[in-house]
Chain A
Amino acid sequence: MQLIACPWCGPREEIEFSYGGQAAVAYPADPASLSDEQWARFVFFRDNPKGPFAERWVHSAGCRRWFGAVRDTRTYEFLSVGPLSATTARTSVLPEATP
């Protein structure tokens, strides 16, 4: 079984962790102004890269802390782990707002 390096507890078995999806999906600044399509895009649409992907993970059976990781989706190799905020700059999945 693959080991994942929790930034707090160190390397632990993958079974102790839970996946939290793409990291740094920014909450809309003004949710009320979004169209249904824009809202759906925020709620459901995520990147699906072939290669390094910034993700959120939680050490659910250990320290219960969330952290960020960059994982290669082709090899499942963890390239880096760190605090959530430091993993990636915040990015938005929303399309540019059209006035």
Chain B
Amino acid sequence: MKTGLRYILQTINYSIFMLIVWYFSVAPAYTHLDVCQSVVVLAFGHAGQSVSKCRKRTPEELAALPPNMRNPMICPRERSPIEVELLLDDKLLFTEIFNPQGVSGDWGVDVYRRFNVPSGKHNLKMRLKDSVRVKDFNYIYEVDVDLKAAQLLTIDFQPEKGGFSVR
């Protein structure tokens, strides 16, 4: 009798434990993205242009240097900050100035930003300025998109391919 009761109690204990294991292995479900939402990701890696152009050293400057270091050109290593703006249906979605990384500010920046937006038709405008030597945004791009539910739209930036693109 007692052994039988024990086996029943053990079965109950095992069942409770396995129920917990099973339940938390799949539940409660987590809603990562609401229905009728889509995601726009702005992601690129880019190094801003250098803060000033290369120039020739003057003969005096050259003479002041040790003979083995007399490079006629002087090129500043520091890069310009990168300023980015993203507008969704003419409303500002995102704006930030990314300062160059690295001790001498000569590294590029990596950008990854995610925005949840309602699905449907939108107008996207992107602007980027990567040089302190220009006044306005030197890259501008505009596109009309029709975002399906849960669609992920990636905005990339590759100056060698003409700047912004979406996919």
A interacts with B = no
